[in-house]
A and B are shown apart, each in its own frame.
Chain A
Amino acid sequence: MDAVSPVTTLEGARLDGRADDDRATGDRAAGDVVRTIDLHEADVRTLNAELHAPRHRRYEVLNSQGAHAVAAGLREEIEVRVRGHVGYYCAGMNEAAHVVVDGSAGTGLAENMMSGSVRVRGDASQSAGATGRGGLLVVEGSASMRCGISMKGIDIVVGGSVGPMSAFMAQAGRLVVCGDAGDGLGDSIYEARLYVRGGIGTLGADCVEKPLREEHHAELAQLLAAAGLDHATSEFRRYGSARSLYHFTTEHAGSY
């Protein structure tokens, strides 16, 4: 169960949010033109309708101003750059697309992501990456409570800290926290692997520290590189399931 799985690769430097500030110019191929949608002029419905049937490969969203469900339900391999803060469920259930938010994100960022990548330059609220099944979520700042709750295969890298009850019932995937983790980390965890560089409030039920073996250093290094972070993997500790609660018995009544 501890087999190392490959890290989702990001396409080029564009998704680290640093190398893509150029705007479309007339002499580019149509596929390279950045289509700009200003949420002062268009509503989220118009935005998402276009992103669901994209005519361009690259989009820029202006004046997001905390709008909900921005870029939710994408399924084409497009790039979306959101200039501003977003509300709940940004990039929800994302498939294939690469979304960068130049701001902070509300609850449920990239919830149930299937594939592709989502990067938030600021902080993320509760339940970032909740139930995600694949792809890579990077929060450059910190994430609030329940980050990675019920994660099912997603990789999440948080540059700062995560709040309490993160990785609750985490089933599969990897969560990397470069700062601290709050209380109840990995409560009732299944097979997800957690890497934390800083301190832990408390570990949740059935979550224990585990040895960080060679293959774990390797996957952690890959995840950090994919996120554009360069911490030494030796600074992290690994946590996972003791697997003692996988079968019901009332003798465990006090363990939950």
Chain B
Amino acid sequence: MTDPAQLGLRESATFDRATIASIQRAARTGVYDIRGWGAKRAVPHFDDLLFLGASMSRYPLEGYRERCDTDVVLGDRHARSPLHLATPVTIAGMSFGALSAQAKEALGRGAGEVGTSTTTGDGGMTEEERGQSKTLVYQVLPSRYGMNPEHLRAADAIEVVLGQGAKPGGGGMLLGQKISERVAEMRTLPAGIDQRSACRHPDWTGPDDLAIKIIELREITDWGKPIYVKVGATRTYYDVKLAVAAGADVVVVDGMQGGTAATQDVFIEHVGIPTLAAIPQAVQALQELGLHRHGVQLIVSGGIRTGADVAKAMALGADAVAIGTAALIALGDNDPRYAAEYEAIGSAAGYYDDFQDGRDPAGISTQDPELAARLDPVEAGKRLANYLRVLTLEAQTIARACGKAHVRHLEPEDLVALTVESAAMARVPLAGTSWIPGGNHA
């Protein structure tokens, strides 16, 4: 096909080909686009930050000889049994239902191998998941699907989910194709229906109620478990302050690049703020409360891909990060070996985001027994463990270069920004200047 540009044709920046296709699709089907993954638009991100390695004015650590620790303690504010993780890279909440049982097991295996935690999702806790996850965080979501006090007690920590970065203000969604008999039974729903989760919790409204809800959860579990509160990144400064006031031991902030199994495209792309913009707001809130790095831990998620991203999130003030999309890719999502099959369902390896429709050739975002059987939980778990090790080693490499004996010792002072936008959001100076745009914060 001739390149249209060579014919002198000009593509509209406003009505580009993807926009035209989406209008045509809407006109054809009368249904809005529901898909998985997170925001695909370009937003200021960790790529727009650089580290200032040590040289004359700072002293580096020897790359392969001097220690650079990565362990993290989560939830030591009120809980009798805080989590001790070997690496600050955790696995974000993803449901059985959205994912196959094999995928959930693989996540547990991979995380367990490197000493980090996994998280349940909007569908309750499965035996496979509890069995294979050394450290498991149990989510309390608005839907309360499968909510079971035995599972609360069996968990290592509890995460009260107010929202996620892909859809702050929206509830879960699982389309009928994925409501198998087992998923339906766990959620107490008829099989095959399009399931729409609530977006508000059924038994509390607002931060004052949440404080009491958290006390109830602590009472039920005899004050043993750390309690996380997860928010989608929007008014992060205020949300973090309110979460802490409500009693959270750990606050999880999920930026708009954070993934979802099924959400309206318009929601994913147009609601929420980038991870980069959310972290300094959360850190400011914790600092003003005197709890940053002393009392309440901050977990950041949404677009973490590399050890550099891990290091940058921590330098900006996170205590740990969570990965979801990247973990699925490590398991085998979007693997080129299924290229022909992705094409057969109208997608392509590297582009596949139809997690909602249950036809995942890689056997991850599906409940189809034949597709799910393609994913070997042991092998996939090994791949995830490898990837988690790489993330950890990469973060250590950067921390040592900056002269830090612990990745948590990285600080904003180690960072500069490449663009004015990222400098303003991350609150670090534009490279080569001392200029931090933005001024008065919060």
Contacts and interface: CB of A to CB of B under 8 A. Distances in A.
A179 B188 CA distance: 28
Contacts of A152: 144, 188
A68 B213 CA distance: 9
Report the interface size class on chain A.
Answer: 35 or more
A131 interface: yes
Given A95-B149, A108-B203, A251 B30 contact: yes
Interface in B194-239: 194, 196, 198, 202-204, 209, 212-213, 215-216, 219-223
Contacts of B222: 48-49, 52, 73
B212 A248 contact: no
A32 B144 CA distance: 36
Contacts of A88: 204, 209, 212-213, 216
B147 interface: yes
A91 to B, nearest CB: 10
A66 to B, nearest CB: 11
B32 interface: yes
Interface in B112-167: 143-144, 147-150, 152
Contacts of B215: 68-69
Contacts of B223: 45
A140 interface: no
Given A108-B204, A150-B143, A68 B212 contact: yes
A88 B144 CA distance: 18
A171 interface: yes
Interface in B388-420: none
Contacts of B21: none
Interface SS, B side: loop
A66 B193 CA distance: 41
B9 interface: no
A interface secondary structure, majority: loop
A89 interface: yes
Q: Name the residue in B188, B194, B196 with the highest tally of chain A Cβ atoms < 10 Å from its Cβ.
A: B188
Contacts of B31: 248-250
Contacts of B32: 250
Most buried by B among A68, A73, A75, A247: A73
B336 interface: no
A255 to B, nearest CB: 12
B266 interface: no
16 contacts: A68-B212, A72-B220, A107-B212, A127-B202, A130-B203, A150-B144, A150-B198, A152-B144, A152-B188, A171-B187, A190-B189, A190-B193, A246-B193, A248-B194, A249-B31, A251-B30
